Amino acid sequence: MTFKKSLLVVAVAAALLSACSADKAAQKNSNQSTADNIAIDKTTTASEQANALFDTLFNEGVQRNPVRQTYLGIKTDYDKWQDFSEENSAKELAIAKTNLKRVQSIDVKTLDAQTKISLSLFIQNLENHIADYKWRFHSYPVNQMYGTHSQIPAFLINQHSISNIKEAQDYIARVQGAQKLLEQLVVQLKLREDKGIIAPKFVFPHVIRDSKNILKGAPFEDAPSSTILADFTRKVDKLSITDEEKSVLMADVNAALINSLKPGYQQLITYLTALEKKADNRDGAWKFPDGEAFYNNALKRTTTTDLTSEKIHDIGLSEVSRIHNEMRVIMEKVGFKGNLNAFFDFMRNDKQFYYPANAEGKKRYLNEAVALIDDMEGRLDSLFLTKPKAALKVKAVESFREKSAGKAFYQSPAPDGSRPGVYYANLYDMEAMPTYQMAALAYHEGIPGHHMQLAIKQELTGIPKFRKFGGYTAHTEGWGLYSEMIPKEIGLYQDPYSDFGRLAMELWRACRLVVDTGMHTKKWTRDESIEYYTSNTPNAVSDAVKMVERHVVMPSQATAYKIGMNKIIELREHAKVQLADKFDIREFHDVVLKNGPVPLNVLADLVDAYIVEKKA
C-alpha cells in the first residue's frame, strides 16, 4: 500500500501536512487565527481551544502543500505542485519550531483525556520533525517504489479530476509546472550525490525506464497518445463544452507537454544516466554517513517502539519458526509428501494456483477479489460496531507503473466522498499473485483492513484533523496484517490452501523483520537477502527481488507490519484476560480504530483505559 519522498521526514511530517477541508481564501480573510478567536470566547473549554489550535496549525500546513490539498479533494491551489527546494525545507523547519512553542504553552492540566493525547501526539510529531531534519538527505528521492518521476503521471491521472474548463487549465498548468518540479528534484539528487548518498545500481534501470515511458507516444513521437495526453483527452472529452474550447485545451496541453514536461524529464534522465556510473552495489543504510544512527532512528519512527535492530531480528527468526510449524500442519492435512521446502516449491509452481497472464485471467482475479470483499463486508456486524461510509473499489495497477509497483496497495478515499477508497492489485506478473494468497491480500488492503481503518479515521468526529489524517506505519500496517487473521476467527479460510496463503502472507512479514535488519545492520547483500526469502517462503522469486529492493530504498519501513500486528494481538489477549466474559471484540476494535492512528505505546494506554472503564 503512503506512502515516501524523504522517507523519515515525510512519514513524521505527514501528520502535520495531511488534510483539512478549510478553504484557503476564507482563512486569509481573518487577521486572527481560529484559536485566537476561540480563546476570546470564554464559553469554550480549554480542550476546545487546544483542538482549535491544532486544527489551525494543521490547516496552515495543508495550505502550504498543493498536492496534499488535491489528495483531500481541496482545489484551492489546483494548478500547483509542492516545493522541493532547500529554502522551503528550512522554512518548514522554522515553522515547526514556532508551532512547537505555541502548543507547548498549553496547560495540559486543563485538558480532557482525549485532548491530552492529542497534545502529546502533536508535540511528539513536531519534535520528531525537527529532530529528523538532519536526516533529510538519507533517502533516494527517485527509486523503483516511489518518486517525483512516477508521482507526476500517477497524480494527474488518479487525483486531478476535471469537471470544467478551469480545472482543465489547472491540469495544463501542472503539466507546465512539472519542469520546475523535476529541476528541483535534480538539485536534491545532486545534494545527496555530494554527500555520497547514491542509490545502488539496480535502482537506475527502473527509474530511467519509467521516466522514458512518460515520453512515449504523442505528442512526443508519431504514435498513439502518451500516458498523460490520453488521460487529459479522456477527461476533456467528457466535458459539456464546445469543440472549439476543447481544441484550445488540447493545443495548450500539447504545447505544455512538448515545451515543459519533456525537457524536465530529459534533464532528469540525462542526470540519472550519468549518476548511474557512480553507483555501486552496496545496499544497506550502513553505507550512509552516520548510517547506524540513522537506521536506529528509522526503526524507532517506524515501529513507535524502542526495540533494537537485534531484538527485531530475533523476533523475526522466532516468528518464522512458529509459522513454519503451522504450515507443516496444513501440509499434512492436504496429504503432501515431502518437506516444507518441497511444499513451497509445489505451491510456487503448480499451475492450479495461478490464473493465466492474459486479459481473461486478470479479469477473473479482480472479480474474485471483489467477491471476497463483498462477502466479508456482509459479515462485519459480528466484529465491528463502527463501519466506514466510503465506498471501496478494486482496480488493477496502471500499465505505466505496474512493472515497478508493489504487488498490492491501498489509496484512501477523498474526505468529501468524491473519490472512493481503492485497493490496487498489481497483475503485471500473475505468477506473483497466487490464488491462495488472494483472500489475505483482499482482507489486508480492503475489508476489514486498510479501507475500514483509513476510511473510518477520516470520518471520525471529535478529534483534531492531524489525528484523522496523520499516520503511524506500525498502527496502520499492524492493523492490515491483523486483518488478515480476523476472517480466520469467524470461519473463513476453509480451504486449507487459502489458509496456507494467510500464513504465507504472515510469514512474509516475519521474514521482513529478519531481512530488513540483516541488510541495514548486518551488511547482508542483495543476493543473500533474496535467498533468505526464497528459502523460507513459498513466494515467487520476483516477489523476493521486489521485496529486497524495497528494503534497500525504504529502510525500516517493512518492520512495521509484524511489530504492529504482534502488539495488537498482545493487547487483545491482555484485554481478554482482564475482562473475561465482559470482553467484546467489537468494542476492542473500536478502541483500535476510533481513536485514529496512534503510536503503539499510546494504543496500549487506550486499551488499558478501556479495560478500566469496562470493569467499572
Q: Is the pLDDT of residue 237 over 50?
A: yes
Helix, strand, coil tally for the chain in percent (to 5): 65, 5, 30
d(CA 355, CA 140): 35
Q: What is the pLDDT of residue 6?
A: 31
Boundary of a domain, candidates 228, 259, 280? 280
Question: What is the domain range of residue 165?
Answer: 148-280
- Residues of the chain with pLDDT > 90: what percent? 86
pLDDT in tens, 409-456: 999 998 888 889 999 999 999 988 999 999 999 999 999 999 999 999
Count of CA atoms in the C-beta half-sphere (13 A) of 478: 27
Question: Is residue 113 located within the same domain as residue 16?
Answer: yes
Place of cell 503503539: 600
Place of cell 506505519: 473
421-425 and 392-396: which strand pairing?
parallel
Q: What is the pLDDT of residue 399?
A: 86
Boundary of a domain, candidates 232, 248, 280? 280
Which spans in 306-422 are helix H? 309-333, 340-349, 359-377
- Selection from 447, 507, 433 nearest residue 479 by Cα: 447
d(CA 455, CA 341): 39
Question: Is residue 73 located within the same domain as residue 164?
Answer: no
d(CA 5, CA 147): 6
d(CA 440, CA 509): 13
Helices 46-63 and 86-104, axial angle in degrees (round to 10): 180
pLDDT in tens, 605-615: 999 999 999 99
**Does residue 190 form part of some domain?**
yes
What is the sign, positive or negative, of the torsion defined by CA atoms of 254, 256, 261, 264?
positive
Q: Is the pLDDT of residue 540 over 90?
A: no
**Does residue 548 form part of some domain?**
no
Question: Is residue 128 located within the same domain as residue 12?
Answer: yes
Question: Is residue 196 located within the same domain as residue 259?
Answer: yes
Region of 197 please: left (phi>0), alpha (psi -120 to 50) or beta.
beta
Q: Which residues of 474-499 are buried (b: 16+ CB within 10 A; e: fewer)?
A: bbbbbbbbbbbbbbbeeebbeeebbb
Q: Please give the grid coordinates belonging to residue 171.
A: 491540469
Q: Is the pLDDT of residue 300 over 90?
A: yes
Q: What is the pLDDT of residue 381?
A: 96
Residue 274 identity (one-letter amino acid): A
**Does residue 405 form part of some domain?**
no
Q: In what order do the strands lie in the sheet with 408-411?
A: 392-396, 421-425, 408-411
Q: How confident is the model at residue 83 (pLDDT cuts 50, 70, 90)?
A: very high
Boundary of a domain, candidates 250, 280, 310? 280
Q: How confident is the model at residue 402 (pLDDT cuts 50, 70, 90)?
A: confident
pLDDT in tens, 578-607: 999 999 999 999 999 999 999 999 999 999
**Does residue 179 form part of some domain?**
yes
Q: Please give the grid coordinates belonging to residue 196.
A: 555520497
Q: Is 536 in contact with 507 (CB distance < 8 Å)?
A: yes
Question: Is residue 123 located within the same domain as residue 57?
Answer: yes
Question: Is residue 106 located within the same domain as residue 161?
Answer: no
- Selection from 532, 555, 556, 554 nearest residue 544 by Cα: 532
**Number of domains the chain is built from:** 2
Question: Is residue 106 located within the same domain as residue 218?
Answer: no
**Does residue 161 form part of some domain?**
yes
Question: Between vectors from CA 405 to CA 396 and to CA 453, what angle results, nearest 5°?
Answer: 70
Residue 112 identity (one-letter amino acid): D
For residue 146, what is the DSSP state? -
Count of CA atoms in the C-beta half-sphere (13 A) of 346: 13
Q: Please give the grid coordinates belonging to residue 229.
A: 495526453
Question: Is residue 127 located within the same domain as residue 224?
Answer: no
For residue 261, what is the DSSP state? I
Question: Is residue 121 located within the same domain as residue 164?
Answer: no
Question: Is residue 83 located within the same domain as residue 159?
Answer: no
**Does residue 38 form part of some domain?**
yes
Question: Is residue 61 located within the same domain as residue 182?
Answer: no
pLDDT in tens, 160-170: 999 999 999 99
| Neighbouring C-beta atoms of residue 511, cutoff 10 Å | 27
Q: What is the pLDDT of residue 324?
A: 98
SS3 197: coil
Q: What is the pLDDT of residue 42?
A: 57
Question: Between vectors from CA 214 to CA 212 and to CA 219, what angle results, nearest 5°?
Answer: 110
Counting every residue written for the chain, the total comes to 616
Per-chain mean pLDDT for the chain? 92
**Does residue 465 form part of some domain?**
no
d(CA 246, CA 259): 20
Q: Is the pLDDT of residue 41 over 60?
A: no
Question: Is residue 152 located within the same domain as residue 267?
Answer: yes
Q: What is the pLDDT of residue 43?
A: 75
Which spans in 490-559 are helix H? 496-521, 526-536, 541-553
**Does residue 97 form part of some domain?**
yes
Overall average pLDDT of the 73-78 stretch = 95
Q: How confident is the model at residue 4 (pLDDT cuts 50, 70, 90)?
A: very low
